[in-house]
Amino acid sequence: MIDELIRRSIREMVGGGGPPVAFLEPPGDRGLFGPESIAWKVHADFISMMIGGISSLVLQALHPKALAGVWDHSSFREDLKGRLGRTAFFIAATTYGSQEMAANAISRVNQIHQKVTGFDEFNEPYRANDPNLLAWVHLTETRSFMRSYESYRSEVLRSQQKDQYFAEMKILGEKLGATHLPDTYLATEQAIKQYIPQLHYGDRAKTIIALLDHFPSNLSSKPFVKMISRAGFLNLPDWVYPIIGRPIPRRIERLAMSSAIRLMAIPVREALKDGVAAHSLRRVYGSPK
């Protein structure tokens, strides 16, 4: 009963249905990265990935050109769950899917980006396949996922493992058209800061961030969803808070949230233990490992 309540709460945020049987085929296919990769380890933790997803969307909303593509060409404001669900599937397909599944997911996104053009709120032209914008999205996502894993997963990664994650994800970012991507944690943090002069917290960004801050959910799922959303805001870099008019969170607040998330994550991880990563291991090795 508790497992089903957890799954229902997760569907409230990202949608989704039954067992991910599509990840069982073809036998032996290792996908883009393989089970030994750090990407497989980091992306397997649904809780930290959802938290990282929220913080990456907050960051992306601060770039007028990146936000314009979402504002003009998606149903993000009306269907937040659908947007997160599509993003979650893309991450799953490119991390755990077969070579063909990953290639199809990448091709589909690249085709969509070709058509997304227009003018931002300053009447400046933008195109979604601009390598500068693609790099911003890539940098904010990878930084957010790793930072969330560090904060909300008990397992400690060595510096070399963290850098390996960014080197692996650079491969994916380049397949999506981003260029000059860093391949270490420190270089990623530095690259993100180079974008600060391009950021703007205007009415559009305020609308999106308010939506993320008050994530729509039904009554039974509200405590779970609210905690994930709040943790996402605590997962931002410190330099972001003055931009969005919020105080930098105190250390005790971050520690309290980390403790709460780790406690809540125990039944969530148990409920999701036979998810995408487990199915993909069966594809590669032929049996649970």
Is pLDDT above 90 for 75?
no
The mean pLDDT of 103-107, rounded to a whole number, is 97
Whether the CA torsion 67, 226, 255, 262 is positive or negative: it is negative
62/190 Cα distance (integer angstroms): 17
Whether the CA torsion 105, 195, 52, 226 is positive or negative: it is negative
52, 141 in Cβ contact below 8 A?
Answer: yes
Instruction: Supply the DSSP symbol for 158.
Output: P
What's the chain's average pLDDT?
90
- Per-residue pLDDT band for 1 (boundaries 50, 70, 90) equals very low
The mean pLDDT of 228-238, rounded to a whole number, is 96
Q: Considering only CA atoms, which of 198, 227, 168 is closest in space to residue 59? A: 198
The mean pLDDT of 21-35, rounded to a whole number, is 95
- What's the token pair of residue 14? 């990202």
The mean pLDDT of 10-30, rounded to a whole number, is 76
Share of residues in the chain with pLDDT > 90 (%):
74
